[in-house]
Amino acid sequence: MRFLFLGDVVGRPGREAVTRLLPKLRDVWKLDFVAINGENAAGGFGITEAIYGELTDAGVDAITLGNHAWDQREALVFIERAPKLIRPLNYPQKAPGRGAALFEAKNGQRVLIINAMGRVFMDDLDDPFKAVEREISACGLGEGCDAAVCDFHAEATSEKQSFGYYFDGRFSLIVGTHTHAPTSDHRVLPGGTAYVSDIGMCGDYDSVLGMNKDEPIRRFLTKIPSGRFEPATGEGTLCGVAVEINRDGLAERIAAVRLGGVLEEARPAFWE
């Protein structure tokens, strides 16, 4: 299976990078499944139903969320009629939507997508390790699914790495999201799980985490908010990882993807 996971979409530059580049990549790279984190897609804060449709029309098969899931209040309602939208599994039980879903890939295989949120420097949620343990035990590789992927939306690299090693061999791919800066530690762990501490963002990297630089810098200098955070408006980078998954559901190889914008380009050589 050829799997592409793209990082947090931040504002219009991120959305435009996805809609401009992804349709062609699906054909050229013969992708079986595409997932993306969409929690910052609406002006950097949350996601709307219109943007959900824009991303799925561009070829996205599953959209994960995070701590900004409900910033656009309409998401509390439309998530129930958006089968490709997944919020963190360890949110309170009464939260709308679902934290995991089973999809059919283009090649006919079953793909389990789980979204979980970390707790270090984040909101105080249920234990993500226990929540994901329950889910993957109920729908494991080779049993309930042919591939299993988890978006672990977390701040601390230590928590992400611990999560990756704990579940090594039980997932095809575990990606860290949230910090918007791609790490270079992507690799296949000893048990066969592809892993990266943070997948980065789809957005304008001439920015502070996708936002116009002026307001964040001013706040660091003065400790006084003087305006809203607004997404930067330059060319966006399509950023993520490409993974080849074998018939056992484990990863054969993983590579960085960075296309467009100011970052150095990276492509999966095994698909070129």
Q: Which residues are marked as active site?
A: 68
> 173, 251 in Cβ contact below 8 A?
yes
Structure tokens at 262: 């100011």
Q: Please state the length of the chain.
A: 272
What is the β-pairing status of strands 2-6 and 238-245? Answer: antiparallel
Helices (H), 35-79: 49-57, 75-78
β-sheet bridge partners, residue 36: 6, 63
Give the integer Cα–Cα distance in Å for 272 and 253. Answer: 14
Phi first, then psi, for residue 114 (nearest 5°) are -120, 140
Structure tokens at 40: 């910052």
